Structure 1
Amino acid sequence: MSIEEKYKELTLGSRTLYGHAKHLFPGGICHNIRAFQPYPIFPRQSSGPRFTDVDGRDIIDLWMGHYSLIFGHAFGTVKRAVANVLESGWHWGMPNELELRLADEIMLAAPAIKKLRFCCTGTEATMYAVRLARAFTGKGWVLKVAGGWHGASTDLSFAVRPPYEEPEGPGLLEPDMQGVAHLTFNNIEESKKVINLHQDHIAAIIVEPMLGSGGFIPAEKEYLEFLRKTCDDLGAVLIFDEIITGFRFRYGILADEYEVTPDLVTLGKIVGGGFPIGIYGGRDDIMELANPFQPESPGRPVLVGGGTFSANPATMAAGLATMDSLRKQQSTIYGLLAARGEAMRKGIVERFTANALPAACTGMGSLFMTHILKGDDGLISSPADIAEKTYSRVADRELKIALLNHGIYSMHGGGALSQTHGDEEVEMALDAYEMAAKDLKNELQL
């Protein structure tokens, strides 16, 4: 029985629901990252590190709500905090006390953020950050890293996947019309060439200090220092997209670990406790351009907002409960997550290699991503290396299905650990990776 045939046999309920979904949604899904062939799995209930699908299978979850659930599914502290809010009203469309408290908590943990605004998604956060940078500098061009993903805004939906020279799809303007160009991650010399080409017109450089969907590749400190100096020299704004990395590795932003201070930061995921959130913040003089009263600069403010549900009490309560728990446990939780993440990275490579399937596993802390290698060169320092050296499509499809057959839900061949992923879940996951490696070796003849 093939990997796909076994999956279909195990997931009849999901198959039925997907048949209905295809008549309701384009592609049968409401977010492209949730789509895979032959059809996605449908959960019914979740708790801690696991969910139960509609067929009653118990699955260890490594996706954890788009990496947002650092305390696992259905975290009791968040449940209680949100339940309290539901008693008094969950949406007013007015300022509320909880948003002040959450902002205070974030700013204490991330000193680079002097002022911030809440919105509802990471896409909005990066879109508004870019708009503020253009207004602040009076320039138009934005540079991003090839392979970097910053949400689905028109400004940044370019150079996400190979060959990196075109928009992500129809309906988007060509890069020259958008005023966007791409840099080579962790490559100072190649990045200098692009910067020199646009140096008089650069409003901002935006980068993830560890690439997310681009491969869980950490930035080299020297590269981030180079970007910082470049922005200083050119009068451009340095934006760190920390929607994945913020509060994932430390109680604060990853920028502080690198000792490189950005001008603007975007956050999301963890700081919302699993509820919809986006945050953009940073230098006071840049953020004040969003002030509708413009005390220092008469005229129209930069058009930024947050959407109908920005800073809604339910999200603010979930975020506060999560942040409070992280702050109290910061001396233990991050070390524990890092140790288990390292066990996953090391264990996956060992299990694959033992089955004559060369692999590399990138990431840091509690994040890991599996790359099935075409040869012996496992050094991956940029998304271009993934495209050149790995079977990336296999990790996104066949490995995903093979792992699901063995009770593991992954993303890009890896995922994010939560506090609730204990030694038992780590060992079970590694056993599943070994069985999946055998399945891939037998079926695909890699």
Structure 2
Amino acid sequence: MAKYINKGSSGKGEMSLGKVDRWFLREVKACSASSSQANSFRFKALKNDKLGNGRNINIWRVPWVGDEKGRFIESDEREELKVVGDLIDHEKMEWRYDLIERNFNERDKKCIYAIPLSLRGGCDDYMWAYSKDGKYTVKTAYMIGKGGDLDDFHGAWVNLWSMDLSPKTHHFMWRICTRSLHARAALKHRHVVDNDACLWCPGLEEMMEHAIFSCPRIRHLWKDCGCEQMWENCSGDDILGMVEKWATLDGKMVQRGYILAWNLWFERNKFVFENVVTPVEIVVQRVYKQAEEYNTYSKLNYSGSMKSQPPSAKKWVAPSPGIIKINSDASLCDDGWVGLSAVARDDKGRVLFSVVKRMKAWWPPDVAEAKAILLAVCWVKKKGLSNTIVESDAQMLISRLSMGALFFADLDAILGDIISLCSDFNFTIFSYVKRDGNLVMSNAG
């Protein structure tokens, strides 16, 4: 996979990120002075999710690598090398190390060797650059919209979105925190209404805080719901400051307070638009009932039934007769080199084959472990074996391979290669083993 995107018509290279790093933050801050420039930067938030033949990616003018220094190749341009495909051995789907060593500086070589190549090749494609799995999420877009400045990120948002609440309550509290509720004072400020007086106490202005917290008609409801601490200790704070302080209070009480706030605004709107008044005692009962019902619903739908999993083996266990067990592992002991190893044994513990491979790469551990599993599966196919158990101490990889969970990141191209090869076997089981049960491979790697 490569971090790549075409240059826009403006001539500026479009940015591409595998993660939000310091380089990215500097670029966002640099363009924050101009809203149009910032919006253009945020729009250019794609990268190439799969480096296939590489013939459409210009080596020198497209940001297809990445580190804290930037996204472009820094070495002097070579006329004989035009596209990334020139740097790939397409038969083996490996980098042409001789060309790379001769024509690129140390920084560029490290960036190139950090990109794992998929055996399946294929065409280049696009992905969302600001998430690990390559999928677009509102969360990552929100962080980009905030300018990527984590120092200016208010702690109230973390507290709010981590609360166990229904989506409508979360959205309502977001509107409170962004001051986007249409209280009468706000409507008068926008020349929508002429009167900004509270509906229950005409002598007072209906600000958002007044309608939710301090109106004499509803203040005692906070005490009746056991939530008086939420406004007693925060009376002088702004909304975000209040929400941040609520994190120190009892979680169930804060949950009821959020639900109560939603109900108070709901009842206010019923009175405004339908002239319907609900007795305050009914509102209190409704708050407790809604909190109880949501907690029951959440427990049933999100907790799930915790099925007991059999303990992972601490030593190698022979497979059933007729089944081959393959163990794999990776080693990252030497900078710039990765060791891959695999061994296959039958039900008697006899070694059917073993393979060790050392190659230049700057992969993260999960990619290296995936490459080791891929090496094992390739040799299984080469040897004509078909009933296999693939065992590794990389628990996350085994879990994703078992579920077939593939996304668009660099790692997922390798997982896709593994699943594609295993589809040719009679059956394949992916099994997790603790490191003690994978010692042969750990030593070999």
Q: Computing the radius of gyration over CA atoms, which structure comes out larger, 1 or 2? A: 2
Q: Which has the higher contact order (CA 8 A, sep 6+)?
A: 1
TM-score, length of structure 1 as denominator length: 0.24
TM-score if structure 2 supplies the norm length? Answer: 0.24
